[in-house]
Amino acid sequence: MTQELTLSTITQNIEKQIKKGDVDGRQYTLLAASKTQSVEKIQHAINAGITTFGENKVQEAETKWPALKSQNPGVRLHLIGPLQSNKADQALDIFDVIQTLDRPKLAETLAKAMIKKQKRPDCYIQINTGKESQKSGIMPEAADEFIIYCRDELTLPISGLMCIPPVNQPPAPHFAYLKQLADKHQLSELSMGMSNDYLEALRMGATCIRLGRALFGARKE
């Protein structure tokens, strides 16, 4: 059960930070990023105590999660990869949280799908903090307007923000920006921090850290 060992190491690292006073007593969610991982590996992680998972693709989630969810009723699944508008209905069927709302067309489609499906999972808005052309997320200069549009005009259940900082830059300025933007709009959830920088993200206000390699080992992608 190497996963249990890894999980306890991670939890201990976080506990140490909390004791040092670097992280306030806030509740945080440890999300296991389970893309490419098998149902068996995911079940091991659930047995080790992980209750929140993230998948990047609707289709992959549909092949793995109906069975996992029916066997593990308390487990929650977040969408952490880009969502195509034509998959909005399916996304509402399988995900408990959608972290990657990032453009007006998708927001409009989701708003309609939520009415049709009578399902309103929490949504986070993904911000492209590094303004990277290959990455999804709304650009920072359009973020204020988009947050207000989603929440006030479309009345979507927006509860937080999410970002994936550029790989070749220190993440701290990106985390600080996301925190500031969330505070400005009174959004309580901040999904930031991955295997390499989760402690820093927690220090800077993360409420959800997304861990892949730290939990499951290197992916063969």
Ligand X SMILES: *Cc1c(COP(=O)(O)O)cnc(C)c1O
* Interaction between residue 211 and ligand X (CB under 6 A): yes
Closest residue by Cα to residue 85 from 101, 97, 96: 101
Is 116 or 213 the residue whose CB approaches ligand X more closely?
Answer: 213
Is 100 or 109 the residue whose CB approaches ligand X more closely?
Answer: 100
Q: What region, left, alpha or beta, does residue 151 occupy, with left being phi > 0 and alpha being psi -120 to 50 degrees?
A: alpha
Of positions 88, 194, 202, 204, contacts ligand X by CB under 6 A: 194
* Interaction between residue 103 and ligand X (CB under 6 A): no
Closest contact distance (angstroms) between CB of 199 and ligand X is: 13
Residues forming a β-bridge with 53: 32, 77
Is 165 or 205 the residue whose CB approaches ligand X more closely?
Answer: 165
* Interaction between residue 64 and ligand X (CB under 6 A): no
* Interaction between residue 190 and ligand X (CB under 6 A): no
Q: How far is CA 99 from CA 23, 79, 134, 181, 192, in A?
A: 23, 6, 18, 16, 11
* Interaction between residue 33 and ligand X (CB under 6 A): yes
126 touches 193 (CB < 8 A): no
Report residue 118 CA to chain centroid gap. 22
Interacting residues toward ligand X by CB under 6 A: 33, 35, 56, 80-81, 164, 194-195, 210-214
